[in-house]
Structure 1
Amino acid sequence: MSNVINFPNGKERITFKRNIANTKRYNIFKSILQLVSKAIYGILFTIRLTIATTLHYSFCVSLSILNSMNVFLFFFLGLCCIINYFHLDRHFISPTNYATPVFVGFWILSCAAQHIVILIQEHMPFHRIMKVVRNTIPIQTEHNFQSQYY
């Protein structure tokens, strides 16, 4: 009986073995490259998540502190505005001193801080900017507070 399958001999056999070795190396390199790319993607995702969470917490905490000192800021910054008004010869702003508008801005920010924190908590803008959260999050239009208690 003769062989049904013709196996390569000589130079053809050497090139065939080289092709098999190259294919094995290519598959190993491809799997290593996939692992490395997944690791890099995971590290970058963790960095983006950390940055977004840090920005979220820092803004919410600073606005909560401003909101808690709303009454104090009203009286203290109001007193500073009056002192600054008389210091600037009965003007609110001078070309080198913008303290009064900054004081008023801080007070307005402290009044609106609670609503801004609620807005930040609902919409998660820093997480969306960093592409950590999908942009298709359903936004709650009506608050059903009774569902929390039943």
Structure 2
Amino acid sequence: MSVGIIKFVHIVAVCIFVGSIPCHIILGIQAERAANLGEAALLLQTKFLLTTALTGSGLVASLISGLLLALKGRVFLKARWLAAKIALAALISLNGVLLLTPLAGEMAELAATAQDVGPRLAELRGKEGLAGAINLASILALLFLVVVKPSLGQKSQRHG
């Protein structure tokens, strides 16, 4: 597979992953403002579906294509910015898979029970907000690394 095709797939995958995040945030805010539990449940279930379908698939595709690009370019760990990018991508992935996706699923299930689950839902929203903020900061740091490609203490060597 050519580097050009892998780059194309990588850019599309990153767009899907990062582009789905504002939808996730907006649906969460709308669920908090919902007039009733049924409306909140629908919004939270939609958020969970988008999390698993778009955010998850975009993340997996961007990780795979990014690793392929690094391997094909033979710069896998030669550039420190790339090593930092890979570490951040791993952090983002772990946070998304181990924290954010299960939290979104649990929130959708709780809301679907149509019972008074306010305190538990508020607790989950707090955890999701913290994990989401960490992921957003990590994504912004990763994008900074990709665009600026700082030397991070090694001789200036720009790739890409």
TM-score, L = length of structure 1: 0.33
Bigger share in helix:
2
Between structure 1 and structure 2, the one with the greater Rg is 1
